[in-house]
Amino acid sequence: MNRKPMQMNRKTFLARALALLAAGLSLPALAQSIPASVDEPVTITFYNYNLATAGIGGDATRKMIAEFMAANPNITVEGVPYSSADASRIQADLAAGLPVDLVQTVFSDLDFAVTNFGAQALEDLVPAEELAAHFEGMSPNGLKLGVLNGKTYGLAYTFSTPVLFYNADLFKAAGLDPDQPPKTWEALKAAALAIQDKTDAAGFAAGITGPTAADWLFQGVVRSNGGEVISRDRTTLKFAEPEAVEAVAMLRDLADAGVYENADINGALEGMAAGNIGMYLQTSAIQGSLVAGATGNYELRASTMPSFGDKPVRPNNSGSALTIHTTDPLKQRAAWELMKFLTSEHGYTIITSEIGYLPLRPAIVNDPQYLGEWIKEHPLVQPNLDQLAVLEPWDPMPGPNYRQIVKTMMDAVEMAVFGGADPAETMKSAQDTAQSFMP
Amino acid sequence: MTIEAVSRPLVAAKPRLRRTARTRSRLDGAVGHLVMVVLSIFCLFPVYWMVVTSLRPANAIFETSLWPSSISLDNYAYALNAIPIVHMLGNTLLISAVVTVIQLFTGLLAAYAFARWRFRFDTLVYSLVALTWLVPFQVVMIPNYLLVAQLGLLDSITALILPHFASALAILLLAQSMRSFPKEVIEAARMDGARSWRILWEVMMPNLRGTIASLAILIFISTWNEYFWPLLLSRTPENSVIQIGIQMFMTAEGTQWGPLMAASTMASLPILLIYIVLQRQVIQSFMKSGIR
């Protein structure tokens, strides 16, 4: 007597489980049912770290938001400034139940944004044809930057590559040819030694280490030596593998030779802008600051990231992607419309010419309607554009301890390069520690 | 040797000794002053460098000469245009003043209770108040944020003031002063028919003027320098404080040193003015808080 209701329950349970499974399987299909357009007034929040600044980034962002709202009268965009250093406002707002709709996410935070802040894959939201239509004309390498586990969670927004800025006047004073900037790390060392020998300036500085450096540039250096800091399946750290250790040892060699300045990012930037450093490897985004310092003082030039001998250079990106977090279909559509506007030909014309980041749409570079004229007047951007063809993603570390993993790795790099510690042992010890922070 | 013979050189040596002591004292004084002058230069140099850098044009911002090769007010114009500095300074001034008044008021009431009344668990409550002083604001920042969000006060001046209604420092400092206040005076007031409220405001408070002034300055300066809470709470420059405004010139695309120094110079002026007016009190307040 008692078994029958139990069997019924089991059946009901099975039926419900199957229904849930079916619903789960069809979720992407359901999610694609966002409205085709925004036909009623809607307000979305856009968490943007450029808005927390008073510089060109903030001005250009406000300009783009204003233009978008003028073209889309039904959509109101509420720009929310936040600090990209800790994203505590996003965390606090999510905890407070406030709407977090669209976010400018630093690439290293992408995994955390997906697993903890509910960032959603564009493939699950936007109809496939519409997505493909918008992606057309975008750099395939640029599109890969926001892909995680096979889906596009982030669409590259303000991003750039490592550029070797150099002081052509110091090159001439050191007897070097400024038209032949160093293309390999070996050549860079020789040039730096010449600059230090024949001028009062320092040879070389880079934004690889330091408290605010993150790990993007280090990842590019390791990749260029054929290594990687994390396995492709994102389960195993690999920054103590021979290729990575070799890259660290190369940097150590520069430091031991006395040509690699151990200056923090701001110090190195100021030294370079002031004309006191021969070469500086850093994101192209700081170009504006360097130009301001160089104007009337010395000739600033730029080149691509150096290679390890004949190995191909594999630069990666710094910067941010756009991620959609809202689950409301109407807001998703509004956020997607804003995302499309910001990553359009017009959007990237503003982003590149006014802030200094790479255009995700390479064709606009030669188009006089967009960046054509501007590029002619700003040749410094060329190495950055050249590297778009070989650009690789900045791998975000997984799990809730992702920042601890990065810090452990980068502290070890700094100790091995400037602290006199043995590169192999230091990187191995750090990797063992950091592996325990992995999810 | 006669006594005179022995004493003669001693008598003659006395003025010499005095002279030597005086010379040494003068020398000590001169060395002391020299050290203070050198230390003052060290302290004032960053302020000088801030002002000088704010006057340098963009392409000369990293010059290391003591005086700029050319002077420009462009940084001031840019800074005033980029962020509402005057508005933000007004906000900071308002918040600092209101927080100072409120913390003094709540501090006086609580301190009086602890100093004058014995009640159950009074020592425990006092210890708990003292312990709250050890809790960093960052720990309670998110709970405070959630509360403020639920009250619908995000991005408002009220919310910037709200978590600062009471201060453990104010309570402890005032309670200590009140405990050392002569009991006879209070008893005399009580015999004259004064009750607690009158004793606090008319008898004790006028005599605690020095401590209150010192405390007011400490609270004002620490509120003026507050950074984390406004950083989390403020969403628009119009509802934010000057510390956030200054930080806005530090961007991912590099720090705009010229405008940043111009904004910092302008932000320093009100607090410098307060310092000049209340110099003695400021020094006393730091000495007192250091001693206690």
Give the closest-approach CA distance of B59 to chain A in angstroms. 4
Beta bridge partners of A105: A321
Q: Quick check: B136 pLDDT over 90?
A: no
Beta bridge partners of A160: A318
β-pair type (A75-81, A42-48): parallel
**Both structure tokens of B122:** 């009074």
Q: Which residues of A touch B259 (CB under 8 A)?
A: 54
So what's the pLDDT on residue A20? 46
So what's the pLDDT on residue B59? 82
So what's the pLDDT on residue B27? 85
Distances (CA, A) of A434 to A238, A406, B143, B168: 10, 8, 31, 40
Give the closest-approach CA distance of A173 to chain B in angstroms. 20
HSE-up of residue B200 (Cα within 13 Å, Cβ side): 19
So what's the pLDDT on residue A283? 92
In this prediction, residue B175 has a pLDDT band, given cuts at 50, 70 and 90, of very high
So what's the pLDDT on residue A244? 98
Question: Under DSSP, is residue A5 helix (H, G, I), strand (E, B) or coil?
Answer: helix
In this prediction, residue B65 has a pLDDT band, given cuts at 50, 70 and 90, of confident
Distances (CA, A) of B24 to A325, B36, B115, B119, B224: 75, 18, 49, 59, 45
Name the strands in the sheet holding A42-48, side by side, starting at the edge strand that comes first in the sequence. A75-81, A42-48, A102-106, A318-324, A155-160
CB contact under 8 A, B253 and A356: yes
By percentage, how much of chain B surpasses pLDDT 70?
A: 91
Do residues A280 and A205 lie in contact, with contact meaning Cβ atoms separated by under 8 Å? yes
In this prediction, residue B8 has a pLDDT band, given cuts at 50, 70 and 90, of low
| Tens-binned pLDDT, residue by residue, of chain A (439 aa) | 344 444 445 555 445 544 444 444 444 444 457 999 999 999 999 999 999 999 889 999 999 999 999 999 999 999 999 988 878 899 999 999 999 999 999 999 999 999 999 999 999 999 999 999 999 999 999 999 999 999 999 999 999 999 999 999 999 999 999 999 999 999 999 999 999 999 999 999 999 998 888 999 999 999 999 999 999 999 999 999 999 999 999 999 999 999 998 888 888 988 999 999 999 999 988 888 899 889 999 999 999 999 999 999 999 999 999 999 999 999 999 999 999 999 999 999 999 998 889 999 999 999 999 999 999 988 898 999 999 999 999 999 999 999 999 999 999 999 999 999 999 999 999 999 999 999 9
Do residues B174 and B111 lie in contact, with contact meaning Cβ atoms separated by under 8 Å? yes
Q: Which residues of A touch B245 (CB under 8 A)?
A: 54
Do residues A320 and A95 lie in contact, with contact meaning Cβ atoms separated by under 8 Å? no
Decide if A399 touches B, using CB distance below 8 A.
Answer: no
Decide if A355 touches B, using CB distance below 8 A.
Answer: yes
CB contact under 8 A, B59 and A293: yes
So what's the pLDDT on residue A25? 44
In this prediction, residue B101 has a pLDDT band, given cuts at 50, 70 and 90, of very high
In this prediction, residue B155 has a pLDDT band, given cuts at 50, 70 and 90, of very high
Distance CA A330, CA B272 (A): 52
Pick A54's closest partner by Cβ from B231, B232, B248: B248
**Both structure tokens of A269:** 């930037």
ipTM of predicted assembly, 2 dp: 0.80
So what's the pLDDT on residue A261? 85
- What interhelical angle do A242-256 and A423-435 show, nearest 10? 130
Nearest to A416 by CA among A241, A180, A255: A255
So what's the pLDDT on residue A193? 97
β-pair type (A147-148, A151-152): antiparallel
Q: Which residues of A touch B150 (CB under 8 A)?
A: 96
Distance CA B28, CA B25 (A): 5
**Both structure tokens of A392:** 């690789």
Alpha helices (H) along chain B = 3-55, 74-82, 85-116, 122-132, 137-150, 157-161, 168-179, 183-191, 196-198, 205-207, 209-224, 228-233, 242-247, 257-277, 279-291
So what's the pLDDT on residue B288? 61
Q: Which residues of A touch B254 (CB under 8 A)?
A: 269, 285-286, 288-290
Q: Which of left, alpha, beta for A63 (phi over 0: left; psi -120 to 50: alpha)?
A: alpha
Distance CA A34, CA A324 (A): 13
Q: Quick check: B64 pLDDT over 70?
A: yes
Interface test with A, best of B49, B61, B62, B140 (most A CBs within 10 A): B62
Give the closest-approach CA distance of A270 to chain B in angstroms. 7
Beta bridge partners of A302: A165
Distance CA A371, CA A345 (A): 9
The pTM for the full model equals 0.85
Give the closest-approach CA distance of A17 to chain B in angstroms. 36
Distance CA B199, CA B206 (A): 10
Question: Under DSSP, is residue B35 helix (H, G, I), strand (E, B) or coil?
Answer: helix
Distances (CA, A) of A232 to A20, A119, A147, A289: 32, 21, 12, 36
Question: Under DSSP, is residue A40 helix (H, G, I), strand (E, B) or coil?
Answer: coil
Helix (H) or strand (E) holding B122: helix B122-132
Question: Under DSSP, is residue A77 helix (H, G, I), strand (E, B) or coil?
Answer: strand
Distance CA A169, CA A298 (A): 6
**Residues of B within an 8 Å Cβ radius of A:** 58-59, 61-64, 79, 82-83, 142, 145-146, 149-150, 154, 231-232, 235, 245, 248-257, 259
Distance CA B133, CA A113 (A): 35
Distance CA A55, CA A65 (A): 16
Decide if A212 touches B, using CB distance below 8 A.
Answer: no
So what's the pLDDT on residue B12? 55
Q: Which residues of A touch B61 (CB under 8 A)?
A: 273, 292-293
Give the closest-approach CA distance of A234 to chain B in angstroms. 28
> Identity (one letter) of the amino acid at B212?
I
- Distance spanning both ends of chain B, measured CA to CA: 60
Question: Under DSSP, is residue A98 helix (H, G, I), strand (E, B) or coil?
Answer: coil
